[in-house]
Chain A
Amino acid sequence: AQRVTQPEKLLSVFKGAPVELKCNYSYSGSPELFWYVQYSRQRLQLLLRHISRESIKGFTADLNKGETSFHLKKPFAQEEDSAMYYCALRAGGTSYGKLTFGQGTILTVHP
């Protein structure tokens, strides 16, 4: 069975500081990893996925299979980045199928 762990429930940084939201997973196969974000009073939306190798809103995430991690990083945080962030995993080998979510990290960026 797969599992996703986000060890930090709350994370606070100041504007302009680097930010890293941690995500670790356990899964015996080849996973597909995602980061979802939920801004205040908005629905959950996809931020990025590892197979895209893209940078969205300045955020990047690298899948490290050796450390089974998919940490989300941004070199200079902005106030509008304040939100709830969820890391999620989908079992590899299936294009469809359920997402397994971590418990989420609330990021607060102070001015």
Chain B
Amino acid sequence: NAGVMQNPRHLVRRRGQEARLRCSPMKGHSHVYWYRQLPEEGLKFMVYLQKENIIDESGMPKERFSAEFPKEGPSILRIQQVVRGDSAAYFCASSPPGQGLLNTQYFGPGTRLTVL
């Protein structure tokens, strides 16, 4: 099992451009979480998705940010019209559909977004 995959690992965008971050969960995992880590801060929850459904988006900024987890393919975190404050490391985690001890979140390596 290759683990949670994220690409690209590094992404540079100019202000006003769009950023698309991809996350492929571990095989058999149907739950995906996105977290953001700003410089000098801990990871902060953004959104929790299951296949084709957004379950909890309480951590998502109200504008410019969106996320999806289609039936086929990776989960996508999309940031429109990026600003310098969006520069951060974005981590994806996935978990299986079990409960209790089975429900461990496994993290990807992260995508480091730099906005010039």
Query: Hey, which bits of chain A sit against chain B, CB under 8 A?
Result: 4, 6, 36, 43-46, 49, 51-52, 86, 95-104
Contact, CB under 8 Å: B42 / A99? no
Measured between alpha carbons, how far is A102 from B93 in the docked complex, in Å? 17
Q: Which stretch from B14-22, B76-84, B105-113 is at the chain A interface?
A: B105-113
Measured between alpha carbons, how far is A43 from B106 in the docked complex, in Å? 9
Residues from chain B with a CB closer than 8 A to the CB of A100 are: 45
Nearest opposing residue in chain B for A41, CB measure: B109
Residues from chain A with a CB closer than 8 A to the CB of B41 are: 103
What distance in Å separates the Cβ of A102 from its nearest Cβ neighbour in chain B? 6
Query: Assuming the A-B contacts A86-B43, A96-B48, A100-B45, are A46 and B31 also in contact, with contact meaning beta carbons closer than 8 angstroms in the complex?
Result: no
Query: Hey, which bits of chain B sit against chain A, CB under 8 A?
Result: 3-4, 31, 33, 35, 40-45, 48, 55-56, 58-59, 91, 93, 95, 99-101, 103-110
Shortest Cβ-Cβ A-B pairs, 6 listed:
A98-B45, A95-B99, A44-B107, A103-B42, A101-B42, A101-B43
Contact, CB under 8 Å: B45 / A99? yes
Contact, CB under 8 Å: B105 / A102? no
Residues from chain A with a CB closer than 8 A to the CB of B40 are: 103
Measured between alpha carbons, how far is A103 from B33 in the docked complex, in Å? 18
Contact, CB under 8 Å: A102 / B42? yes
Residues from chain A with a CB closer than 8 A to the CB of B95 are: 96
Residues from chain B with a CB closer than 8 A to the CB of A95 are: 99-100, 103
Partner of B107, one of A45, A52, A98, A102: A45
Contact, CB under 8 Å: B110 / A43? yes
Contact, CB under 8 Å: A97 / B56? yes
Query: Assuming the A-B contacts A43-B108, A46-B104, are A98 and B43 also in contact, with contact meaning beta carbons closer than 8 angstroms in the complex?
Result: no
What distance in Å separates the Cβ of B4 from its nearest Cβ neighbour in chain A? 8
Partner of B101, one of A6, A36, A51: A51
Measured between alpha carbons, how far is A51 from B3 in the docked complex, in Å? 24
Contact, CB under 8 Å: B48 / A104? no
Query: Assuming the A-B contacts A86-B43, A104-B42, are A98 and B103 also in contact, with contact meaning beta carbons closer than 8 angstroms in the complex?
Result: no
What distance in Å separates the Cβ of B75 from its nearest Cβ neighbour in chain A? 15
